[in-house]
Amino acid sequence: MHILLETGRLRLRWFTADDVDLLVALDADPQVMRYITYGKPTPREAYVATYLPRWLAIYAAQPGFGYFAAERRDTGAFLGWFHLRNDRLEPEYVELGYRFQQAAWGQGYATEGARALLQHGFITLGLEQVSARTLRDNRGSRRVMEKCGLRYATGFVYPEDVIAGRSEDERAAVKYVITRSEWLSLQA
């Protein structure tokens, strides 16, 4: 097992090809996917053929970046995942993201792991700025961003080629950012 980092309660590790079932099960909960695909599950084939191969390739191509499984240190139970990846909309940023099983919500796990990933990003990787985006109405995700020190940067609407078949209101989103100096001043 390749461990990226550990926090008080969490272990963040590399995914492997054996994790398909965990990922498919996570995305099978419409509440988990509510602000991502409007509730639609991810087909198993998408993980097998597209997402996991893409994720596994990042570990070698960009050490320290990518998608990381989050599991409890005490039991090893899979809780969800984080990503710290190239921002596909604005390449000057590295984008933070997270997705957790509903049973794990509200216990501070996303905040705990995201804070550790920011430290990893700014200290180990030497990043200059980190972004995070979510659909406007995803209050829980926005709260995690705020608790980690990210600040609201702008509202925007995902273009139709990114989110097809949805109204402009349904595509309304927000971007939060934190710079390295902002993060450092929060640690003082």
Binding stretches for ligand COA (CB under 6 A): 32, 35-36, 80, 97-100, 104-111, 134, 138-141, 143-144
If the CB atoms of residues 17 and 103 are measured against ligand COA, the closer one turns out to be 103
If the CB atoms of residues 39 and 43 are measured against ligand COA, the closer one turns out to be 39
If the CB atoms of residues 55 and 61 are measured against ligand COA, the closer one turns out to be 55
Using DSSP's 3-state secondary structure scheme, residue 41 falls into coil
In the complex, what is the shortest distance from the CB of residue 104 to ligand COA, in angstroms, rounded to a whole number? 6
In the complex, what is the shortest distance from the CB of residue 167 to ligand COA, in angstroms, rounded to a whole number? 19
What number of CA atoms fall less than 13 Å from residue 105's CA on the CB side? 12
Question: 148 with 115: CB under 8 angstroms?
Answer: yes
In the complex, what is the shortest distance from the CB of residue 47 to ligand COA, in angstroms, rounded to a whole number? 16
In the complex, what is the shortest distance from the CB of residue 60 to ligand COA, in angstroms, rounded to a whole number? 26
Distance CA 161, CA 183 (A): 33
Q: How is residue 123 written in tokens?
A: 């200290």
DSSP secondary structure letter of residue 23: H
For residue 27, the one-letter residue type is D
